[in-house]
Amino acid sequence: MFYKYCNLSTLLSVGRTASEGQGSKDSSKLCCPTQIEMATVSMDVEVGRDDKKKGFYQDLVLAYKTLGVVFGGLVTSPLYVYPSMNLTNPTEEDYLGIYSIMFWTLTLIGVIKYICIALNADDHGEGGTFAMYSLLCQHANIGILPSKKIYIEEEDLVSTHPAVTRRPSRLRRFIERSIVARRLLLLTAILGMCMLIGDGILTPAISVLSAIDGLRGPFPSVSKPVVEALSAAILIGLFLLQKYGTSKVSFIFSPIMAVWTFTTPIIGIYSIWRYYPGIFKALSPHYIVMFFITNQKRGWQLLGGTVLCITGAEAMFADLGHFSKRSIQIAFLTSIYPSLVLTYAGQTAYLINNVNDFSDGFYKFVPRPVYWPMFVIATLAAIVASQSLISATFSVIKQSVALDYFPRVKVVHTSRNKEGEVYSPETNYILMLFCVGAILGFGDGKNIGNAFGVVVIMVMLITTILLSLVMLIIWDTHVVLVALYFVPFLILEGTYVSAVCTKILKGGWMPFAVSLLLALIMFGWYYGRQRKAEYEMANKVTLERLGELLAGPDVHRIPGLCFFYSNMQDWLTPVLAHYIRNLRSLHKVTIFLTLRYLLVAKVDAKDRVAIRRLGPNGVYGCTIQYGYADPLDSEEDELTGLVVGALRDYITEEEEEVALLEEAREAGVVHVRGKMRFHIGKDTGFFDRILLGFYEFLHSTCRSALPALGIPLQQRVEIGMLYKA
């Protein structure tokens, strides 16, 4: 049930201004409608030009900021790509083939897939695999849970993708009818999200460890434990900075990444000129074919190392909520992509003349006079590189919590201008523990690289699958065009997946273990929420049922004002029937309060509260709408005054109801929240006993669904309700 808000005052004032503006000098020269329309069009054109200029400059500023958040992992990949490869007596042709593979991987996956296609598959500005799943659920009946409606339908507040109006495709009808297909789709989205979080664990670990390892070149006496300890300390400091928000972090980090992005290709150009000027002949795919013909199985296994050249590209999509599509496109095409092409070309040119230096492929190709400046820049850049996947992890956790597929954790909006810029304290510190554990547990960068390749390519393959569904179901793309996208990328990424799976026993097991743990948490939460939703639907309290309950001879209307909280908007919670049946009473004035989260920064005061009468005398429904930058920790008197004021305006012509409201408020205010829990008895099945018990554990440890509203403890009442599992 949605409330439509209209405000004509602005439109009327614009019309008055247009007609009064010239009439003040000569009333006989009033503008005719055509003149007014032409003047309006002219004004709109000028405003449009100014907006375009302003928007372009904002995109440039955001593009600069993306260097410190989005592209850190991608642009620092030269630190660990060659060192992660298990090369054996490499030749000039081998290096040319490897560079050709990296160039075309960056071009096809980075430019074509992500920059040109995937960034358009956003869900209200949010990106990532779970955002695509959310988008599919909004345009087709393929969701499993009746997820919370956090997006409103008014176009003036939030712009949405147009829903499909044509006859549903065969694929869409098949998925909607098949519960197995719907569950497989959910499982795919969950796996993509879990792998991305695994990426968020490994990116900081491998980036910082690879950079600090540069100490061992000039100082061989520096041991691996020292490098690991320094790396762990740096990462702890980085995670402690996260609470200040992406904007502030990117403001600090972007200059560092800008220096890195523009200095490494300069060294690359120098290396090309000095060692191998003809390196760009390797852009021909002929060298890829020759590489596999010559190396065969060994060449296929080496793909587990070359895939690392595209690590961090998935953050472009997952971090979309923190920035904008145009800013990410501008930054990638004008700086990141050229920088990587030239840096890898320079590294390869050096290695062709120094074939056995691949184990330290970055620092060896840096000229001696600039070694230490580059070491400092590389270390700082590696720290920044960790930011891209940390921010992406916050985004996907927020999306899954909003869709009710993950236990509720605290999500803090760190920007008043960007809804997608979030920070989660619990997620941040758990990530920190896992990152430090990966460094101290693996130690060797090659083992972390093996694990890293697994999560990177799995996320990309899942993105390809979901993006193809978005094209077919939402964009209504012709099946031939979808096939031209899906088949080549399935072959490319499928080949990479087959190669990295050989690394499972050499470190690749870690992201699978983390993903399995996260998937178990999500599945346990999903199963419990599904069972709860089924119970609520079967036992919902309609307005007719509410009237019947209150009409009972032994039900009394007691003095006072009661706020009864409910997150169900189309009916009333079953806890209400439980409350009335057992207490045999309801306050004389009871307001069923629903908090609705909108994708806007702030909601105007005139639009914040909507009231409706629910039938029985003194019973009302109230919806409070709030944006992500609106504070929800106000004092109780402020909340009560806000709702009571809106209710008084609503019933202003009913003197009897107004008097009843004032009398109830003076008698006392109480805030009632309902809690429904599973009762797991002896006759509960083994499967339900395990999963619902796990859900109850998660439910008892996670945060409340309702935000803190500053309500005094003495006014809070919680009504518990058990129902048989």
Q: Which segment of 7-16, 529-538, 578-587 scores lowest on mean pLDDT?
A: 7-16
Confidence of residue 195 (pLDDT cuts 50, 70, 90): confident
Q: Could you tell me if 491 and 596 lie in one domain?
A: no
Contact 308, 80 (CB under 8 A): yes
Token readout for 364 is: 């060896």
Count CB neighbours of 408 within 10 A: 17
In a domain, 373, yes or no: yes
Return the top range by mean pLDDT from 140-149, 441-450, 646-655.
646-655
Answer with the one of 502, 525, 548 that is the final residue of a domain: 525
Q: What angle do CA 387, 390, 395 make, to 5 degrees?
A: 125
**Which pLDDT belongs to residue 136?**
86
**Which pLDDT belongs to residue 248?**
63
Query: With a threshold of 0.85, does the pTM exceed it?
Result: no
Q: Could you tell me if 484 and 611 lie in one domain?
A: no
Give the Cα separation of 308 and 84 in Å (integer). 8
Q: Could you tell me if 513 and 639 lie in one domain?
A: no
The domain in which residue 118 lies consists of 91-155+168-525
Q: Could you tell me if 587 and 630 lie in one domain?
A: yes
Q: Could you tell me if 518 and 484 lie in one domain?
A: yes
Answer with the one of 525, 559, 591 that is the final residue of a domain: 525
In a domain, 593, yes or no: yes
Q: Could you tell me if 511 and 548 lie in one domain?
A: no
Q: Could you tell me if 553 and 657 lie in one domain?
A: yes
**What would the pLDDT profile of 232-247 be if each residue is shown by its tens digit?**
888 888 888 777 766 6
Confidence of residue 629 (pLDDT cuts 50, 70, 90): low
Give the Cα separation of 396 and 24 in Å (integer). 57
Q: Could you tell me if 332 and 204 lie in one domain?
A: yes
How many angstroms separate the Cα of 87 from the Cα of each of 90, 242, 349, 457?
6, 38, 16, 21
pLDDT over 50 at 18, yes or no = no
Give the Cα separation of 460 and 308 in Å (integer). 12
Answer with the one of 471, 497, 525 that is the final residue of a domain: 525
**Which pLDDT belongs to residue 47?**
43
In a domain, 385, yes or no: yes
Classify burial at 528, counting beta carbons within 10 Å of its beta carbon; exposed 0-12, middle 13-18, buried 19 or more: buried
Q: Kind and range of the H or E element at 93?
A: helix 92-105
- Residue whose token pair is 């009237």: 547
Contacts of 170 (CB under 8 A, 6+ apart): none
The backbone torsions φ and ψ at residue 560, rounded to the nearest 5 degrees and listed phi first, read 125, 170
**Which pLDDT belongs to residue 33?**
42
In a domain, 106, yes or no: yes
**Which pLDDT belongs to residue 562?**
92
Average pLDDT estimate for 140-149: 60
Q: Could you tell me if 546 and 519 lie in one domain?
A: no
pLDDT over 90 at 722, yes or no = no
H helices then E strands: how many in the chain? 25, 8
Return the top range by mean pLDDT from 67-81, 96-110, 248-262, 524-538.
96-110
In a domain, 565, yes or no: yes
In a domain, 457, yes or no: yes
In a domain, 518, yes or no: yes
Token readout for 601 is: 């920064």
Confidence of residue 352 (pLDDT cuts 50, 70, 90): very high
Q: Could you tell me if 497 and 553 lie in one domain?
A: no
pLDDT over 60 at 186, yes or no = yes
In a domain, 35, yes or no: no
Q: What angle do CA 391, 394, 396 make, to 5 degrees?
A: 110
State the CATH number of the domain containing residue 149.
1.20.1740.10
**What would the pLDDT profile of 266-319 be if each residue is shown by its tens digit?**
999 999 999 999 999 999 999 999 999 998 888 888 888 888 898 878 778 877
Average pLDDT estimate for 92-100: 94
Give the Cα separation of 621 and 623 in Å (integer). 7
**Which pLDDT belongs to residue 486?**
94
**Which pLDDT belongs to residue 265?**
94
Return the top range by mean pLDDT from 201-210, 557-566, 622-631.
557-566
pLDDT over 50 at 459, yes or no = yes
Contact 308, 77 (CB under 8 A): yes
Q: Could you tell me if 563 and 497 lie in one domain?
A: no
Q: Could you tell me if 609 and 499 lie in one domain?
A: no
Helix, strand or coil, per DSSP, at residue 122: coil
State how many domains the chain has: 2
Residue 617: alpha-carbon gap to chain centroid: 44
pLDDT over 90 at 537, yes or no = no
Average pLDDT estimate for 500-520: 78
Confidence of residue 656 (pLDDT cuts 50, 70, 90): confident
Contacts of 282 (CB under 8 A, 6+ apart): 96, 97, 99, 100, 103, 348
Q: Which segment of 29-43, 328-342, 651-665, 670-684 scores lowest on mean pLDDT?
A: 29-43
**Which pLDDT belongs to residue 26?**
40
